[in-house]
Amino acid sequence: MDAASIGWLALPLAILGGAIRVSTPFIFVSIGELITEKSGRINLGLEGTLMLGAMAGYGISYLSGSPWLGVLSAGLAGMAFGLLHGLLCSVKRVNDTAIGISLIVLGTGLAFFLGKPLIEPKAPPLPSIALGFWSSVPQVRAALDVNALFFVGIALAFAVYVFLNRTGWGLMLRTVGDSEEAARALGFPVLRVRIIATMAGGFLAGVGGSFLSLSYPGSWSEGLSSGQGIMAVALVIFARWRSINALGASLLFGGAGALGPALQGIGVTGYYYLFNAAPYVLTLAIMVASTSRAAPFADAPGELKLHR
Amino acid sequence: MSVPQVELKNMTKRFGANLALNNVSLPIRSGTVHALLGENGAGKSTLVKCLVGFYHPDEGHIQVDGREHRLNSPKDADALGIGMVYQHFTLVPSMTVAQNLVVSSATLPAYINWQSELKRLARVTRKLPFHVPLDVRVSQLSAGEKQKAEIVKQLYLGRKLLILDEPTSVLTPAEADEVLGHVRSLTRTGALSAILISHKFREVRRFADDVTVLRRGASVRTGAVADLTDDALAEAMIGEPVSKMVQHAPKLPPKPNVVLSIRDLCANGDNGLPAVKDLSLEVRAGEIVGIAGVSGNGQLELVEAMMGQRDRNGTIAVSGSSFNGTRKEIARLGVYGLPQEPLKNACIDRMSLAENLALRNFDRVPLCRGIAMNYRALAEQAERLVAQFRVKAPGLNASMSALSGGNVQRAVLARELTQDVRLLVASNPTFGLDFVACEETYRRILEARNGGAAVLLISEDLDELLGLVDRLLVMSGGRIVHEVSAEGADKRVIGKYMAGMKAA
């Protein structure tokens, strides 16, 4: 069987492959954001964390020769940023939205500055698992060449589900995010829980960032992220603060993001930029739909104060 | 299992220059209900918050079974078996009752097997006098059920001293009797002691053994309830002999003309679900129509929809013309209001007293000239109103938030009732006010009625309503379910309708 004979099937295959690839950072960032929001805070700074993670992951992988060490240090860099956000927001009358936006600027700025020497060298990339080994069709093999982090992400979504619903700590996190008054009455350390939740969210966003630079084609550049960190916030709302939903939503966003390149791949080059805008249009549509005045909004953690 | 003897000794607590507690002692005999009476701001909450470890007293200490204890956090109170049911519930709304119980236990379980956990919880709670469904989200429970769930939680945690902060303010009379009756009988068996914070004499008399009255942070009276008369308690509370409740002005027959007419009104709550359902009512000139109901049955949404603050369907007419709450209509039709928490809902707290007094007419002559304000006229008006309504304030230019609750209310009364009022909408107008300010509010509302205005009074306090209204409607689940004239009103029947036990 040769490549030409699969005809129009190339399109869904390209979208599938693209969806898996593009969705991976979304999975990590959105689940990280979900954990943070469940504690009653919004961290808008994950876009900055993402870039910092991409840079740190690439740099450490290059210096140490181990991409997994790169992933870990990307997570730690993100965690440090989460700690910064968590601490700053614990000061009275500091607004988490404003801190988040300043962290976007700080994170991307820091990543660009420290990443200058990383543009040239080649760091070892993350391994991928060739699930398409059974097929001789190159498009199938390309689509099913799945990065290992994708599977970590899927496992993560289920682990977070169990954590939030079946562990005492998970219930404590939800209590803190839903009603600060209740949490205080129960004697929970509200600030500590929020800081730890923001750090966990930062760690995952950092890991998501390392995927950007360490997966195929594997390079560091300043244009790596195209707003995934910001879109993750919309994604969490769309997922109604449920981790399994967040996984599905990430795949949907990934598919939308892969639409443009996939169409280009089969030769449809018209409207390339229009199709590339699909994830942004989706974000906008979701924000409009989920802030409707009439729709019930019972799933949002109470302390986010999203009502009104 | 013995119930400890808890005693608070010589407690003093300052917030800045403000002396919130002044050398207060409170002995709670084991196996009794001790009532804590006092007006808002008398120090009741501060005192019990010291007892649950929220505040740390500057002086004084807490003794449990004769031994002194320092309570640094709610965890310490927990360890001593002291628990509090807050007025604003502290159950997590998005979690089920079972999840709330699990998360409240002293040690958080690492992994929860819900199947066996639910069986265990059902076994434990079956022995308690209250029944609440375990697998229902708290946000779907009624106020009465939430209250019961709070108490179940405390008993499940093995609390020996239960503090109830105004527990019946969200309950129907029948629910209140049931809840307090159970607490009372538990104390009788020696399983529990309780502190009951209240301002209702009836509850204190019926369910408490001892009573302590606080006024301005000091304990002014303490003793067995049986030894004290209601008059003595009231006098201790307000610090002066009680003047009799406002006499009902001789009732005039209502005029035939309908002022407010609401037809098939529907409105949604903040959560997007219907809160007011096909509601119709009429209020005539010269009558006070009351709306009774347990908090959260659509009263708030009704008022907001009526005043144009909330999207709605249906028709609202004032004196025959349609009313949407625009500034023009308010002035032309004479619609004014007394909302609850006036500082928040009727004032702009950072503006001055004089400016707040002008909110209704700053855009009319003589307060404005073209687009410019006439500050002299504004000051004159403020001076006149402050004198007429005896508003006590540091000055006309003091910011509104510097005034006490009673004086904010007087300022709002002055602003609203000196207009040409043809329809007055008052919603919980005395919530959180002291005795004197309440009396004054009642008097002004009756005056407005006697002056020919139509008054719609929404209140969660049934006694307040029965003392003022000419006609009473009961609201439950977003509908009017009962109507009765003031003469024919029977509290027990009304309570049943409030609880939604009878369908319309």
What pLDDT does residue A41 have?
Answer: 92
Whether pLDDT at A285 is above 90: no
Rounded Cα gap, residues B163 and B2, in angstroms: 18
The whole-number pLDDT of residue A1 equals 42
Provide the shortest C-alpha distance from residue B55 to chain A (in Å).
Answer: 12
Half-sphere exposure of A202 (CA within 13 A, CB side): 29
Q: Superfamily for B6-238?
A: P-loop containing nucleotide triphosphate hydrolases (3.40.50.300)
CATH class of B244-334+420-504: alpha beta
Least Cα distance to B504 among B476, B462, B485 occurs for B476
Residues of A in contact with B114 (CB under 8 A): 166
Chain B, nearest residue to A165 by Cα: B112
3-state secondary structure of B88: coil
Q: Which residue of A has its CA nearest to B73?
A: A187
Q: B95 contacts in A (CB within 8 Å)?
A: 171, 174-175, 178
Instruction: Report whether B93 contacts B296 (CB < 8 A).
Output: no
Going B372 to B376 to B381 to B382, the CA torsion angle's sign is positive
**B357-380: string of b/e by CB count within 10 Å (b at 16+)?**
bbebbeeeeebbeeeeeeeebbbe
**Binary contact (B108, A175; C-beta < 8 A):** no
Label residue B126 exposed, middle or buried (CB < 10 Å: 0-12, 13-18, 19+): exposed
What is the DSSP secondary-structure string of B244-311? PPPPPPPPPPPPS-EEEEEEEEEEE-TTSSEEEEEEEEEEETT-EEEEE--TTSSHHHHHHHHTTSS-
| Both structure tokens of B244 | 């009799």
d(C-alpha A283, C-alpha A267), whole Å: 27
Mutate to test the interface with B, among A164, A179, A290, A305 (most CBs of B within 10 A): A179
Which residues in chain B have Cβ-Cβ distances shorter than 8 Å to A301? 94
User: What does the pLDDT profile of chain B (504 residues) look like in tens digits?
Assistant: 467 788 888 999 888 777 888 999 999 998 999 999 887 778 888 899 899 888 889 999 898 888 888 888 888 888 888 988 887 778 888 889 999 999 988 788 888 888 888 998 888 888 777 778 888 888 878 777 888 888 888 888 888 899 998 887 777 777 888 888 888 988 888 888 999 998 778 888 899 999 999 888 889 889 998 998 888 888 888 776 655 444 555 566 767 889 999 999 999 887 778 899 999 999 999 999 999 988 778 898 999 999 888 889 999 999 999 999 899 999 999 999 998 888 888 899 889 999 999 999 888 888 888 888 888 999 999 999 999 888 888 888 988 888 888 889 899 999 999 988 999 999 988 877 777 788 888 999 999 999 899 999 999 888 888 889 999 999 988 999 999 988 888 888 888 888 776 544
Has residue A292 got a pLDDT over 60? no
A290 — pLDDT class (breaks 50, 70, 90): low
Whether B503 and chain A come into contact, CB under 8 Å, resolves to no
Work out whether strand B6-15 and strand B59-64 pair parallel, antiparallel, or are unpaired. antiparallel
Give the amino acid at B143: A
Handedness of CA A200, A201, A207, A213 (dihedral sign): negative
Q: Which of A181, A295, A299 sits opposite B90 (nearest CB)?
A: A181
B432 touches B40 (CB < 8 A): yes
- Give the best residue of A165, A175, A293 to mutate against chain B (max B CB count within 10 A): A175
Task: Determine phi and psi for B251, rounding to 5 degrees.
Answer: -75, 125
Which of A165, A147, A280, A205 has the alpha carbon at shortest distance from A27?
A205
Residues A243-269: what's their mean pLDDT? Answer: 85
Count CB-CB contacts under 10 A for residue A92. Answer: 4
CA torsion B129-B134-B140-B145 (nearest 10°) is 10
Least CB–CB distance from A169: residue in B78, B92, B108: B108
Task: Identify the pLDDT of residue B471.
Answer: 92
What is the rounded CA–CA span in Å between residue A301 and residue B94?
8
Between CA B152 and CA B145 the distance in angstroms is 10
Place of tokens 């040769």: A2
Q: Cβ of A167 and B99 within 8 Å?
A: no
**Which residues of chain B lie closer than 8 angstroms to A296, CB-CB?**
271-273
What pLDDT was estimated at residue B440?
86
Handedness of CA B185, B186, B187, B190 (dihedral sign): positive
d(CA B137, CA B97): 6
Rounded-to-integer distance, Cα B104 and Cα B78, Å: 10
Asked if residues B442 and B433 have their Cβ atoms less than 8 Å apart, the reply is no
Contact call for residues B87 and A181 (beta carbons, < 8 A): no
Structure tokens at A261: 């390149």
pLDDT of residue A84: 95
pLDDT score recorded for residue A212: 92
Q: What percent of chain A has pLDDT over 90?
A: 48
For residue A123, what pLDDT is reported?
A: 86
- pLDDT at position A32 over 90: yes
**In this model, does residue A5 exceed pLDDT 70?**
no
A160: distance to nearest CA of chain B, Å? 13
Distance from CA of B80 to the nearest CA of A (A): 14
Residue showing tokens 């209001």: B337
What is the number of CB-based contacts under 8 A between chain A and chain B?
Answer: 81
ipTM: 0.80
Residues of chain B with C-beta less than 8 angstroms from the C-beta of A175: 92, 95, 103
Which of B85, B92, B113 to mutate against chain A (most A CBs within 10 Å)?
B92
Q: Of B278, B283, B244, which is closest to residue B264 (Cα–Cα)?
A: B278
CB contact under 8 A, B94 and A181: no
Could you give the domains of chain A? 21-130+146-304 (1.10.3470)
Closest to B270 (Cβ–Cβ): which among A166, A172, A307?
A307
Higher pLDDT: B142 or A169? It is A169
Using an 8 Å CB-CB cutoff, list residues of chain A that contact chain B: 166-169, 171-172, 174-175, 178-179, 181-182, 184-187, 293-299, 301-302, 307-308
What pLDDT is recorded for position B157? 86
The b-or-e profile of B264-292 (16+ CB within 10 A means b, else e) is ebbbbbeeeeebbeebebebbbbbbbbbb
Q: Do residue B102 and residue A168 have CB atoms under 8 angstroms apart? A: yes
DSSP A299: T
Cα nearest neighbour of A182 on chain B: B90
Alpha carbon distance B101, A186 (integer Å): 11
B424 contacts B397 by C-beta, under 8 angstroms: no
Task: Name which of A68-82, A98-112, B244-258, B263-277 the model is least confident about.
Answer: B244-258
Mean pLDDT on A129-142: 81
Whether residue B110 and residue A166 make contact (CB cut-off 8 A), yes or no, is no
Question: Nearest-5° angle of CA A117, CA A46, CA A153?
Answer: 95
User: What is the phi/psi pair of residue B480, to 5°?
Assistant: -85, 120
pLDDT of residue B460: 84
Interchain proximity B94–A296, CB inside 8 Å:
no
Among partner residues A178, A185, A187, which is closest to B93 by beta-carbon distance? A178
Mutation target among A162, A164, A171, A240 for the B interface, most CBs of B within 10 A? A171
Answer for the pair A31, A233: CB distance below 8 angstroms, yes or no.
no
Whether B116 contacts chain A with CB within 8 A: no
User: How many angstroms away from the CA of A130 is the closest CA of chain B?
Assistant: 36
- The candidate with the shortest Cα–Cα distance to B260, out of B498, B473, B489, is B473
**Using an 8 Å Cβ cutoff, are B468 and B440 in contact?**
no
- Tell me how close the Cα of B271 comes to any Cα of chain A, in angstroms: 5
The DSSP result for B480-498, as a single string, is: EEEEEETTT--HHHHHHHH
Given this chain, do its domains B6-238 and B244-334+420-504 carry the same CATH topology?
yes
Q: Where are the alpha helices (DSSP H) in B127-172?
A: 143-156
Which residues touch A164 (CB under 8 Å, ≥6 apart)? A38, A170, A173, A174, A243
Q: What is the mean pLDDT of residues A127-138?
A: 82
Contact B208, B196 (CB under 8 A): yes
d(CA B295, CA B171): 8
Q: Break chain B into its structural domains and give their ranges.
A: 6-238, 244-334+420-504, 350-415
Map residue B15 onto helix, strand or coil.
Answer: strand
